[in-house]
Structures are given as structure tokens and as C-alpha cells.
Structure 1
Amino acid sequence: MNENPADLAPELCVLIAAVLGLVNGLFLPRTRQWRVAVICAAGLVAGLAVAGVAATRPDLMAFDAFEIDPVTHVTRIVVFGSTLLVVILAAGQVRDHPRESEHYTLILLSALGTVALGATSDLLVLVAAYLLASIPAYALAGFGKDAPGTEAALKYYLMGALLGVVMLGGVTLLFGVGRGTAYPMLREGFADASPAVVAVGVVALLAGPLFKAGAVPGHFWVPDVTEGAPPAVAAFVTTVPKIGAFAALYRFGAETSPGGWAVLVAVIAAVTMTLGNLAAFGQDNVRRLLAYSTVSQAGYLLVPVAMAGRTDLAEPAVLYYLAAYAVTNVGAFAVVLAAGRDDLAGYTGLLRRSPLLGLSLVVCLLGLVGTPPTAVFVGKVLMFGAALDGGHAWLAVVAAVNTVASVFYYLRWIIPLFGRRTGRPAPRPARGASTVAVVAAVLSVLLGVGSGIALTAS
């Protein structure tokens, strides 16, 4: 066991930024609280830099419950990078808000909980990380008092609390049959325990991470929160918590190997991707369309999670897909924020009015489909390979059919971009959000083109 606090330097950089931002916000006048955004962004950049250095060092265990390995390295970098983009998006939305500094601080605290979710190898720390990732997100979803997102935030909170209690029941049951909470102890305990009891405990435990991931059956909050919350918050809750949830699910499956894991998660994956795609077909609100798109993406991401421990392709598949999904999804939401329209008709002629913004949206939407040379294409190729190598060819077929089907509802959004707008001129796109959209689209392409180098280095 290693108890050197320096091993958690990336997390400490972000935590210090959150504390400094909150303290500064107490004394800054409303018109100068934008400085807190700078402090939080600086903390995230520092965290990214330190995480990059840490990724070159040997794997180790910190404080007997926090693993520092490739899964943690990728979780750190993707979470901090995505959160940095969200902070930039939020800065334009909450400028001069009475609680502007608290908004940035809540984002950073939730991001810290997300990293802990993906790094922990102990059920008790998993529960604590779940709460840290969730509670700030509830507040963010209902940040505007009496805003349209208030009802959605309440639904988000109630469902999160309910499934969190179910998860606690699963932790209790697994602790009883596994004679411990650390994953290595659980692996040994499961071998002697009743398979039926272990199965019940695992199903209950899955409730929490599946809720954070927006997967069936914990997906009901996703469309309501995505439509009702501010676009920057919607981008955050549909992207960042998923990263920690899938990393946590993969780690639990790989390190404890509970009986029936592959079949259980594979069935959930198939149902999730199919339901998400079917629900997205009839959406005219782009935020709800993206919401159900994130549900379907959760299904694809569960495929390599189901193959944890069955094939060596599972780990690179889930990690690369997470990075690809995160940057692409944030880019799509950045376009929504920049354009300021939630209806499909509002995007008519966007490529003519703002070529860079329109092209960024095309790249992000085709990226979510899995079109080369975008990063999600590489993630899906790895995902298919993991399913085939893990002996679940039927799951690869279901994922392929769903991928083809998803093209149609993404095209419903892409085709109007090439049209000609009639009526009064559309408002000028927000500059900050447009920049984030372009950066995200470029990163998506670079991750796809450079996938060979990235995967070889890993």
C-alpha cells in the first residue's frame, strides 16, 4: 500500500482550485466572479498536466483503495479535459449570476467524484464517489430557481436517491457474502458464495453506476434533464459522470469476475442501445434527440464492459470509446449553445451562416454515428472486436444494426444545415461556445486519425 498524497496530485490540483474558487467567490462582487472561472480552469489545466506526467509512471495502489493504472489515467485526462470545455461553455451562460462562483465549484466537485468512481477498487469508496459525483450534479440541474429545469432536477434527484439506496443494499449484500469490500477480497469470497445471492447483490450494485451512465433502467432522467437544464449543464451531466460510471463498471467486472456478469451486462447493453435509438427517431427537439443519443451510446459502451475479463480488447475499447464519446458529445452540445435553438428547423442554413460551426456539428453528429475518420469510429471498431473476441457475436450484430439505424435520426439534423433559411435572420452564434465546438470537432478527428499512435503508446 502507498500512502503518498503526491500520488493524488491531479485530484488535489482540482480540489484546491474548487476551494480557492469558492473562497474567492465569497468576497468578489458579482461583476468580477468570472475570476473564479479562471481559477477553476487553471486548476483543471494543472490537473491535466500532472495526470499526463503520472501516466508515464508505473502502476500503484494509493491508500489501499485508489488504483493508479491505465483506467485511472484515462479517466483523469478525459474527465478533466471534458470539464474544462464545460467550464468554458458555462462561463458565457452564468456571467454575473449571483451564484456564478458556486456554479463552477459544483462542476469541479462533481468531476472529482467522477474520477474517484473510475479509480476506486473498494465498494465503500465507490459509494462515497457516487455521492460526490451526484449531489453537485443535482444542484447544477436545478441551478436556476423556478427555471424549466427545476422539475427535471427533482426527477433527477429522486431517481438518483432511490437507485443510490438500491446500490447501498447491493454493497451490503456483497460485503456479507464476500467478507470484505475490497475487490480482491470479493473475488475470493465470490468463489465460495451462493451464485444466486451474488447475482442479486451485483444487480442491486449496478443500479448506481447505470444511473450515472444513463443506461436502462436508470435512463428516465436523461431526456428531461437534458432539455430542462442549461445547455452547459446538460453537456456536463450527459458526458462527465458517464466516464466514471463506465470505468467503475469495467473495473468491478474485471477485478471481481462475478458469475453471469457478461450475460447480464450484455443484455442491458442491447436493450439500452435499442431503446435509445428507437426513442430518438421521433424527436424534433435537438436536446432530447441528443439525450436519447447518449442513452444509445451508453449501450455501445456497455459492450466492452460486458467483456471485462474475457478479452484483452475490452480495456482499450472502453477507454478509447470513452475519450471519443466525451469530446464528440461536448462538441454537439456546444453547437446547440452557440446556435441558441432547440428545434431542428432552427438549424436550417447553419452551414451558410456559420460554416465552421455547421461543419463542427456535421463532424460531431457523424462522429456519434461512428463515421471514419472520427474517434468514435475507432471506438466502435474496438467495441465490435471485443464482442467478437469475447464470444458474444450476437451482441456485435445488435450493435451493428443499431449503428445503421442511428444514421437516420442524425441525418434529420444534418440535412437542414445545407438548406436556405427564410424569414428573419438568425442571431449571431455565441463566440465562446463556437470555439469549443470547433475545438471538439478537431479533437474528434485527431483522435480518430491518431488512433494508431495512441493505442500503440498505451
Structure 2
Amino acid sequence: MNENPADLAPELCLLIAAVLGLVNGLFLPRTSQWRVAAIGAAGAVAGLAAAGVAATRPDLMAFGAFAIDPVTHVTRIVVLASVPLVLALAAAPVRGHPRESEHYVLIMLSALGTIMLGGATDLLVVVAAYLLASIPAYALAGFGKDAPGTEAALKYYLMGAFLGVIMLAGVTLLSGVGGGTAYPRLKAGLPDAPDAVVAAGVVALLAGLLFKAGAVPGHFWVPDVTQGAPPAVAAFVTTVPKIGAFAALYRFGAEALPDGAGGWPVLVAVLAAAAMTLGNLAAFGQDNVRRLLAYSTVSQAGYLLVPVAMAGRTDLAEPAVLFYLGAYAATNLGAFAVVLAIGRDGLHGYTGLLRAAPVTGLALAVCLLGFVGTPPTAVFAAKVLMFGAAIDGGFGWLAAIAAVNTVASVFYYLRWIVPMCRAPDGPFRPARAASIVAVGAAAFSVLLGVGAGVALAV
């Protein structure tokens, strides 16, 4: 155990940036509130540098409940790299808003909770991190007063509160029969506990974490919030919180549960199959691009659950989860950045985009094909690892379902891509900042895919 606060330098950088941003927002004139976004981006970059340094050091346990290991390193790096991109996407839409600085601070605080969620090795810390990641996100979803997102935000909040209470019940059950809340204690105590109670506790805990991950059965908020909230907020809530949720799910399965306890592999595998299938089926008929991306994120959550189900069963599970998180974050942020840059929600609104704005259109095509798993994008390498983990873990049937869903998903992504190649119906004037984010994210997705071997070796 290590109690050196410097071990939490990445988290402290983000926290300090949030506090400084909140304080500065009290005194800055409305026309200068953008500086809070600059403070947040600087804090994230500083935290990213600290996370990179920490990744070169041996693994350790900070304060007895926060692991600093490869899972935490990837969570830190992906979240902290995503924060400046989200702040850049949010800056133009909220400029001049009376609560502009609070908007940026809420993004930073939710991101901080996400990182804590990924590194927590104690159920009580998981609950605290869940709340820190969730409550600012609820406020962000309903940020525009009387906007279309208000109803979606209420649904988001009510579902989060309800499933959060169920998660607390699961924590109570598991700590009662396991003799504690720390993962090592649970690993030692749960083998002697009644199987039915352990299974009930696992299911209840999954309720909260799957809500955060936007996976079945906690996915009902995803399409409404994605369509109703501002596009930058939609990009954030469908990307960043998922990173911490999947890291927490994998860590719980690998470090807290004895092999097969609570029916973990089969339960999570069934949920993975349900999420990828339901997400794809629901996306087929969508004409609103934001709802299409929403159901796409549900299906991607299903793919991510495959290596989570294999936690502790194969050595491929951990690299599959971690690499997929990085690949998914870049691809999803890139796709949402194009939606924000173009400012249109209907599929027909993208007709001719590749001809009228080739760079932005190419970035969108790369991201959409990346979701499918087209080489050489990063998601292709991630899906190869995912299939390998499922087969090596003895769940060939799950790999087959994932393969069928991957092929089926091509249909609705092509519904968006094909019209982009036609003659444009009118002019396109993509927003510059969002276009830059989109191009950068798409380029990173390709570079990460090409350099997958090097990235995995590190």
C-alpha cells in the first residue's frame, strides 16, 4: 500500500483545473468564460503527461483502494485525452451562455469520476466514483433550460438514481457475504458464500455499471439523451463515462470474483449478445443520425462486454478491453464531431458531403467504417482481440454472434455513407473547431490501428 498523494497526480491535475475553473468563472466577464475551457484543457494535458510518466513505473496500490496498473493507466490516458476534445466541441455552442464556465467544470468533474471508477478496487469507492461521474452528466444533459433535452435529462437522472440504488443493494449483499468491500477480501470470502446470494449481488451491481456503460438492460436513456442533449454533451456521455464503466466491470470480474462466481461469464456473455443485437436492430431504421449513433454505441457496448465476460479466463481479455476502449473513444468522438460540425440531424442532410467538404466527409467515413471494424482502423484490431478472447475463453458461440452482428451493422452505416458520395443538395459550411477534432480523431483511429502491434507491446 502506498499513501503518496503524488501517485494521484493525474486526478489531482483534473481536480485542480476544475476548482480553478469554477473560481475563475465567478470573476471573468461573460465574454471571457472560454478561459475556463482553456484551464480545463491545460489541466487535462498536464494530467495526461503525469499519467504517461506513471505508466512507466511499477504497479502499486494507492490509499488501499485505488490500483495504479495497466487498467488505470489506459483509463487515465483515454479519459484525459478525450477531455480537451470535448471541451473544444462544447466551446462554440455554449459561448456567451450565463453558465458557460459551469458547463466546462461539469465535464471535468464527470471525467474525474470516470477515472476513479476505472481504478477503484473497493466497492464503496466504486459507488462514490459512480456518483461523481453521473451527477454532473445529469446536469449536462439538461443544460439548456426548456430545451428538448430536459425530458431526456429527467429520464437519464431517474434511471441513474434507480439503478444506482439497486447497485447499492448489490454492494450490501456482496460485502455482507464476502466479509468486506475490498476486492481482495471479496475474492477470498465469496467462495464460501451462498451461490444464490452472490448471484443476486452481482446482478444488482451490474445494474448500475451497465447503466453507466449504456449497455442492455440499462441502455434506455441512450437514444433520448443523445438526441435531446447538445451534440457535444451527447458525444461526452456516450464516450467518456463508458470508459470508466467498462474498466470497472473488467476489474470487478477479474479481481473481486472467484472463477465463475455468480454465473459471471455466462451472464455477461448473454448481456453482450443482447446489447450488440438490440443495438444493431434498433439502428437499422433510424433516419436521425444522432439516434443512429446512439444505438451504435449500444451495439459497441455489446462488443466491449465480450472480453469483460472473459475476465480471468484468458490473457487476451485485458488487452482486448483496454485497446477497444481507446479505439472506441477516438471513433465515437470523431463521428459526433462531424455531426456537430455539419449541424444536421437527418441522414438526408449529409448528401454530397464527400464532394462539398471532402476532408470532413472522409473523417466521417473513416469513423463509420471504423465502427464496423474495417482495416486498418483501430476498432478492427480491437475486434480481432475481442474475437480471440471469446474463442480462447471457450465462448465460440459468442464470437459467432459478434461476427454476425458486425456484418449486419454494415447496412446502417452504409445508409449514411452512400448518400455522402452523391452530388450535394446545397452548400456545406462545417464548423472549424469541430472539423479539426473530427479529422484528428479519425487520423488517430487509423494510426492506432496501423500501430496496434506496437501499442499492444507497450
Match of 1:42 in 2: 42
How far apart are 1:257 and its partner, in Å?
2.5
Q: 3-state DSSP class of the match of 1:86?
A: helix
Within the alignment, does 1:392 sit opposite 2:395 as a pair? yes
Match of 1:256 in 2: 256
Picking from 343, 347, 370, the partner of 1:344 is: 347
Given that 2:210 and 2:218 are in contact with CA atoms closer than 8 Å, whether structure 1 keeps it comes out as yes
- Can you give the 5+ residue segments of structure 2 that lack an aligned partner in the other structure? none
The residue type paired with residue 266 of structure 2 is V
Given that 2:283 and 2:291 are in contact with CA atoms closer than 8 Å, whether structure 1 keeps it comes out as yes
1:346-425 equivalences under 5 Å are 346-422=349-425, 425=426
% identical equivalent positions: 81
* Cα distance in 2, alignment partners of residues 298 and 38 from structure 1: 31
Q: 3-state DSSP class of the match of 1:251?
A: helix
Given that 2:357 and 2:428 are in contact with CA atoms closer than 8 Å, whether structure 1 keeps it comes out as no
Match of 2:247 in 1: 247
* Cα distance in 2, alignment partners of residues 171 and 333 from structure 1: 35
State the superposition RMSD in angstroms. 0.6
The alignment of Structure 1 onto Structure 2 pairs a total of residues equal to: 455
* Cα distance in 2, alignment partners of residues 453 and 427 from structure 1: 38
How far apart are 1:256 and its partner, in Å?
1.9
The residue type paired with residue 391 of structure 1 is G
Match of 2:313 in 1: 310
Match of 2:17 in 1: 17
* Cα distance in 2, alignment partners of residues 396 and 426 from structure 1: 44
The runs of 4+ residues in structure 1 deviating greater than 4 Å are none
* Cα distance in 2, alignment partners of residues 81 and 369 from structure 1: 23
Match of 1:5 in 2: 5
* Cα distance in 1, alignment partners of residues 140 and 205 from structure 2: 25
* Cα distance in 2, alignment partners of residues 57 and 354 from structure 1: 45
Q: 3-state DSSP class of the match of 2:427?
A: coil
The residue type paired with residue 293 of structure 1 is S
Given that 2:160 and 2:208 are in contact with CA atoms closer than 8 Å, whether structure 1 keeps it comes out as yes
Match of 1:164 in 2: 164
How far apart are 1:93 and its partner, in Å?
1.1
* Cα distance in 2, alignment partners of residues 261 and 111 from structure 1: 28
Q: 3-state DSSP class of the match of 1:72?
A: helix
Q: 3-state DSSP class of the match of 2:6?
A: helix
Q: Cα deviation per residue 1:265-321 (whole Å; 9 max; x = unaligned)?
A: 000000010000000000000000000000000000000000000000000000000
Match of 1:446 in 2: 447
1:201-350 equivalences under 5 Å are 201-258=201-258, 259=261, 260-350=263-353
Q: Cα deviation per residue 1:340-369 (whole Å; 9 max; x = unaligned)?
A: 000000000001111100000000000000
* Cα distance in 2, alignment partners of residues 453 and 92 from structure 1: 36
* Cα distance in 1, alignment partners of residues 433 and 164 from structure 2: 36
Q: 3-state DSSP class of the match of 2:105?
A: helix
Q: 3-state DSSP class of the match of 2:51?
A: helix
The residue type paired with residue 439 of structure 1 is G
1:135-150 equivalences under 5 Å are 135-150=135-150
Match of 2:127 in 1: 127
The residue type paired with residue 445 of structure 2 is S
- Can you give the 5+ residue segments of structure 1 that lack an aligned partner in the other structure? none
TM score, norm. by length of structure 1: 0.99
TM score, norm. by length of structure 2: 0.99
Within the alignment, does 1:76 sit opposite 2:98 as a pair? no
Q: 3-state DSSP class of the match of 2:61?
A: strand
How far apart are 1:421 and its partner, in Å?
2.1
* Cα distance in 2, alignment partners of residues 46 and 92 from structure 1: 23
Q: 3-state DSSP class of the match of 2:92?
A: helix
